[in-house]
Amino acid sequence: MSKIFNKIKFLLRRPRVVVVSNENRQMAKEAIYQVLRQHFRVGNEVLIFEANATELENFQFFLKKSPFSVLVSTQGWVEIQEKKVGSKKLTFGFQEGADFQASDIKLNTGTNFKINYKGNIVPIWLEKLFSKEQIYAALAAIAVGTIFGLNLVEISQALTLRQIAQRQP
């Protein structure tokens, strides 16, 4: 029943971007909203799913029909993603080869890391946030922001202005 509901929701909304992350969906949604609302009226243009590598098969319909796909880049996902995605694909994560790669992570009174996209490196500061989930959410937001034409500096500033909510599991 859930698959049918998701397909109907997708067909009614016709999102521009489908995001599939293996981390907290709500946190990614908040981060994307935070980045986009500074520049756009946020509507139904982004659809976010939470899944692991074995569940990616369930999202093949959405990934092939959406103009853009933003996918987490971790062990086990890369080969699956190459076979299943028909739309323009961007990946994010910590591993080399991700389109949006986080590196040089430092923890002090928050999390500081660098985002590398097409050779451009921009620092990101997440005050009082220390989990991998927040970094993944920020990476998803950065990828979506670039699809909507924002540059990395604008996105970094939007993420710094209002931090991604700290969620307890």
69, 17 Cβ separation under 8 angstroms: yes
For 90-120, the pLDDT digits (tens) are: 888 888 888 999 999 988 878 889 999 999 9
For the chain, give every domain's residue range. Answer: 2-161
* Average pLDDT of the segment spanning 131-150: 88
* Average pLDDT of the segment spanning 131-136: 82
pTM greater than the 0.85 cutoff? no
User: Which pLDDT belongs to residue 78?
Assistant: 52
56, 77 Cβ separation under 8 angstroms: yes
Is the per-residue pLDDT at 168 higher than 60?
A: no
Give the span between the Cα atoms of 84 and 94, in whole angstroms: 21
- Fold for 2-161, please state it: UDP-N-acetylmuramoyl-L-alanine:D-glutamate ligase (3.40.1190)
Give the span between the Cα atoms of 51 and 57, in whole angstroms: 10
The residue among 61, 79, 62, 81 whose CA lies nearest residue 71 is 81
Q: What are residue 65's phi and psi, to 5 degrees? A: -90, -20
Hey, which residues does 101 pair with through a beta bridge?
A: 93, 116
For 10-47, the pLDDT digits (tens) are: 667 677 787 877 767 788 888 888 888 766 655 677 87
Average pLDDT, the chain: 76
User: Which pLDDT belongs to residue 57?
Assistant: 66
Q: pLDDT class for 121, splitting at 50, 70, 90?
A: very high
Is the per-residue pLDDT at 67 higher than 70?
A: yes
User: Which pLDDT belongs to residue 125?
Assistant: 86
Is the per-residue pLDDT at 127 higher than 60?
A: yes
Q: pLDDT class for 66, splitting at 50, 70, 90?
A: confident
Place of tokens 């995605």: 85
Distance of CA 124 to the CA centre of its chain: 15
The DSSP code sequence of 102-138 is EEEEEESSEEEEEEEETTEEEEEEEET---HHHHHHH
